[in-house]
Structure 1
């Protein structure tokens, strides 16, 4: 019987899910589940490790080749188990001619310390993110209506007016949240580029 080492005991979904062949392409969610990492981490690794090039279909859907999954599993092991930094794994890939050999020793104490500092800095950045309530109000840009004429003021339903006001408030909240997220990402990028 073929057992999945990553399937959780009693996980009904993993028992009922049909198994793909070893040569089948995997979606980003399948790879993320298999490696126990969030999908955004896989997308981030694509930017740091040029060898990871999933096939992208309409709408940006990613399909990972079996070789991509093997490489991602090896990268996850080096980062999370052996204690390498991203730069350390990049160096190993360069030294290995684009491949990660099976005989890579665990990270040195210096490498482990750098990896721990990298993780601590990332956690610190997340903890010190700007509270959303402290953000300045961003202007709301109104889109002019399409060519259809406006109804007379007397016929505007008060429910419609409330719905429009609610939509504008939600729009402002979303803009503030997006601005704060972009600011957080920029700080993280500067920290990583450091």
Structure 2
């Protein structure tokens, strides 16, 4: 009887990858990699204005905007600013809400225009429209400012699942969300 070989699972593959990287570490100038996982924050929200400190960062200029109504181009614009502060409630981050933010509607068949953030935030109240279009100035996030000044910044990072927290944390730890697109308690035991 022939013995079938199984492919290594995600954990075994990750361990093999780490061992391979560790054997090359002595020849590499990179000694430490730190991965920061933030709770429902975008790059532009936290680090977008760091472009002022380092023009090579693909951050924001203040010319970025969203229409107040994605299906009506003459509805007015909300420009990206640097007045970020504690936001409560959070902007929507369910799979459906993020689809609306990215596509400007529930129809995901067209191009991802990234023009529905203000429109979707209006469902949470008028004060949310400005909140979603603001990032922190470098002086408001001094720890990040210092880290950006000393280390490399990967400015092209994206959520693995356009959805809530748990599926993306599952991706960080295991390279899959197991199909999860919401904070379903069934998946929490994976941690």
Alignment TM-score > 0.5, same fold: no
Structure whose CA Rg is larger: 1
More helix by share: 1
- TM-score by length of structure 1 reads 0.26
- TM-score by length of structure 2 reads 0.26
More contact order relative to length (CA 8 Å, sep ≥ 6): 2
